[in-house]
Amino acid sequence: MFCPECGKELPAEAHFCPSCGHATGASGTHDTGAHDPPHAATPGATISAEAAPPSAASQARSVSLRPGLWDRIRAMRTWKKVALGIVTAIALIITFAMVMTSGLDEPVDRHFAALRAGNLDAAYNELSIATQRQNSPADFKAMIERNPMFTHIVGHTFTSRSWQNDQGLLQGTLQVEGGGTLPITIHLVKENDQWKILSYRVKPAPSGD
């Protein structure tokens, strides 16, 4: 017996052609529909590996492999690490100094604001206890009358700020109302966690030759 589809010779009891899979009808049944070969591929049954979304585990691995800040620092050359360390140390020192000296100018602001307002008592209260012991309110008033420019101070610029223990030092200039500046050095002391003015001295202007 031969396959009516491909012409290959068939075994006597074969129900399907072993070559093309065509039903031979040898069983006498009325099943005339074609059966798919055992290894025939069904259209659309395959999924491309590129189309499959990445799993959460693979995403986590990809994130963990990205270089972090410390990885980049460790990968830097030695001289870059040293330079970065120096810059960081300087920035920390400057920040610390600014924080520690931020309150030094507060009694100075209050002192000269009170003098400008004509409130000698408030200005006197910004002086330290030691200074008040050496200078009575009458002495302070006499000093201000001898130096009326202190009642016209509208601002200041301190180019140097320093402190050691409970002692502070400000150096810079005072801005006088109407223009002009006064070079000044102000010593402060901390009393009861508050900065107070210990003394201030105006530097004499350099004399011309």
Question: Are 176 and 115 within one domain?
Answer: yes
Question: Are 160 and 78 within one domain?
Answer: no
Q: What is the mean pLDDT of the chain?
A: 75
Asked if pLDDT for residue 19 goes beyond 60, the answer is: yes
What is the strand order of the sheet 181-191 is part of?
A: 153-164, 167-176, 181-191, 194-202
Q: What is the pLDDT of residue 142?
A: 95
Question: Are 111 and 194 within one domain?
Answer: yes
Question: Are 118 and 188 within one domain?
Answer: yes
Cα–Cα distance for residue pair 184/172, rounded to 1 Å: 6
Question: Are 172 and 190 within one domain?
Answer: yes
Q: Which of 116, 190, 207 is nearest to 155 (CA)?
A: 116
Split into its structural domains, the chain has a count of: 2
Res. 60 pLDDT band, cuts 50 70 90: very low
Question: Are 122 and 95 within one domain?
Answer: no
Domain end marker among 78, 100, 122: 100
Question: Are 121 and 134 within one domain?
Answer: yes
Q: Considering the domain boundaries, does residue 59 fall inside one?
A: no
Question: Are 168 and 193 within one domain?
Answer: yes
Q: Are 123 and 137 in contact (CB under 8 A)?
A: no
Asked if pLDDT for residue 36 goes beyond 70, the answer is: no
Question: Are 74 and 126 within one domain?
Answer: no
Percent of the chain's residues with pLDDT above 90: 40
Res. 55 pLDDT band, cuts 50 70 90: low
Question: Are 140 and 193 within one domain?
Answer: yes
**Which domain, by its residues, includes 85?**
68-100
Cα–Cα distance for residue pair 61/110, rounded to 1 Å: 61
Cα–Cα distance for residue pair 62/191, rounded to 1 Å: 59
Q: Are 174 and 156 in contact (CB under 8 A)?
A: yes
pLDDT digits (tens, 9 = 90+) for 81-126: 666 677 666 655 444 444 444 578 899 999 999 999 999 999 999 9
